[in-house]
Every structure is written in structure tokens, then in C-alpha cells.
């Protein structure tokens, strides 16, 4: 085919594959009234669903994490093996699969759990697997001399752990655990797949009604981002306050 003919064909096809307006003109096509009307509903979904779900799951996950971390550090080979297996399974399988196994899989063996408890259980188990390694590393980071000093003044192993070691480990683990919580806030969007009403679920319902999927999903993403910005600022402030109590 002659070159001029090819160029003419390409020129004729360009309008079909390229936008005919400049990017700035896209703003005029945004349904701003819909954005303003939907924002309170989506934000309320975050307040009533996303944040409580993340907070409850994180607390449950931390209880699991401390227990698994102590099992991983135990002198008992069976306890160490169970802890290692738990961490391996949780970290080696997708969170979505874990969520579906609990909500859709357990009813097949006669165990039916409602959406909210299912989501909290799945997220707690997942956080426990990841946070356990953070807690374990934080405990190991405490100098051995702290244990020896506790034993010298007559403390038992359990008391030394609770009064001396864990408080120091908690300070060390704040940054990675804060990142885990921020990630959990975003992961709660998966709960919409089991009909939990949270931020993303509210956006889905409005998008299905209005057919403005791109607009509503971008709005949901913006609210997630704002929540994470606030949490990141709180994390930075907490780390700054903890640094004041660290001996130099």
C-alpha cells in the first residue's frame, strides 16, 4: 500500500481512538451534584463501616499476633511449629480467599456466620499472621541484658516479659504496626464482596443506581486516600512522641 494512502487511513482513524476534547474540558462533564449528594453517604459508610471494621479487626489481630509471636519464641517445639504453620498459611494465601472460605465455605459444613462477624474474623486472622512477625522481631530487638537485669531483681520470666520486655517491644513495633493498620483500612473494601455495608459498598450501590461507575469509584478512592492521610499524620505524631522517651 502506498505511503500516502497509509497516512490517510491513519489520519481518518485518529478521531475514533483519541478524545476530541482537551483534558481540561472533561471537568465540565462531571456530574458535580451527584458527587456532592453521594459524598455524605460514602463518608458515613466509612464512619459506620470501614473504620469500626478496621479497628475491631486490628484489635483482634493484635491479640492473635502476640499469642503467635510468643509461640514462635517458645522453647516448646510443638508451639513453635504451630506458630510457624499459622504464619505460613496466613501469609501464603490471599486475603480474599480467606474471607470467602469463612463466609461462603463454612456454611457447607454447617457453620453459618453473618457478614460482619465473618469480615472481622477473616481480617483479624490475617492481621494476626502478619503482625505476629512484627511483634516477634520487636521482642527479639530488646537487648538480652534487659532479661538478665529482670532476673537479677527476682522477676519471673512471665513478669519480666510483661513488665520489661513487651513495653519496649511495643515502642519498636509502632511504625510497622501503624503501616499494617493503614493497609487494613484499605483491605476492608473486600468486605463489600460479602455484603458488608462500608465505604466501598456504599459507592457501589450509588454507582449501580446512577451508572456513573468511574465517578463514584474515584470518589471512594479519594475518601480512602484522605483517611490514610489522617492516619499517616497520626502515625508520624505518635512516633515523634515516642522518640522523646528513647535514651540516646
Report residue 243's pLDDT band, with 50, 70 and 90 as the boundaries.
confident
Residue linked to cell 466509612 = 46
Does residue 246 register a pLDDT over 60? no
7 vs 165: which has the higher pLDDT: 165
Grid cell for residue 79: 508451639
Per residue in 223-238, pLDDT (tens digit) is 999 999 999 999 999 8
Report residue 144's pLDDT band, with 50, 70 and 90 as the boundaries.
confident
Average confidence score pLDDT of the chain: 86
Report residue 111's pLDDT band, with 50, 70 and 90 as the boundaries.
very high
Q: What percent of the chain has pLDDT over 70?
A: 87
What is the enclosing helix (H) or strand (E) of 186? Answer: helix 166-187
Domains of the chain: 34-245 (1.10.3720.10)
The mean per-residue pLDDT over the stretch 62-87 comes to 95
List Cβ<8 Å contacts ≥24 apart for 79-84.
83/132
Question: What is the chain's alpha carbon radius of gyration, rounded to the nearest angstrom?
Answer: 25
Neighbours of 202 (CB within 10 A): 25
Question: Residue 4: what pLDDT?
Answer: 46
Does residue 3 register a pLDDT over 80? no
Amino acid at each position: 500500500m502506498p505511503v500516502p494512502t497509509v497516512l490517510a487511513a491513519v489520519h481518518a482513524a485518529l478521531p475514533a481512538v483519541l478524545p476530541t476534547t482537551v483534558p481540561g474540558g472533561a471537568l465540565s462533564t462531571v456530574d458535580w451534584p451527584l458527587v456532592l449528594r453521594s459524598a455524605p453517604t460514602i463518608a458515613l459508610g466509612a464512619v459506620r463501616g470501614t473504620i469500626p471494621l478496621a479497628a475491631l479487626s486490628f484489635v483482634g489481630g493484635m491479640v492473635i499476633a502476640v499469642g503467635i509471636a510468643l509461640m514462635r519464641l517458645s522453647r516448646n517445639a510443638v508451639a513453635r511449629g504451630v506458630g510457624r504453620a499459622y504464619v505460613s498459611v496466613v501469609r501464603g494465601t490471599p486475603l480474599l480467599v480467606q474471607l470467602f472460605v469463612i463466609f461462603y465455605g463454612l456454611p457447607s459444613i454447617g457453620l453459618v456466620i453473618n457478614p460482619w462477624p465473618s469480615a472481622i474474623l477473616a481480617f483479624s486472622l490475617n492481621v494476626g499472621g502478619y503482625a505476629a512477625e512484627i511483634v516477634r522481631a520487636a521482642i527479639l530487638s530488646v537487648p538480652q541484658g534487659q532479661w538478665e537485669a529482670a532476673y537479677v531483681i527476682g522477676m519471673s520470666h512471665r513478669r519480666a516479659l510483661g513488665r520489661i520486655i513487651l513495653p519496649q517491644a511495643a515502642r519498636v513495633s509502632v511504625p510497622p504496626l501503624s503501616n499494617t493498620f493503614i493497609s487494613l483500612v484499605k483491605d476492608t473494601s473486600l468486605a463489600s464482596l460479602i455484603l458488608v455495608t462500608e465505604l466501598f459498598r456504599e459507592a457501589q450501590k450509588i454507582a449501580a443506581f446512577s451508572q456513573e461507575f468511574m465517578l463514584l469509584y474515584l470518589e471512594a478512592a479519594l475518601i480512602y486516600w484522605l483517611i490514610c492521610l489522617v492516619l499517616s499524620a497520626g502515625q508520624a505524631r505518635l512516633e515523634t512522641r515516642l522518640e522523646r522517651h528513647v535514651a540516646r
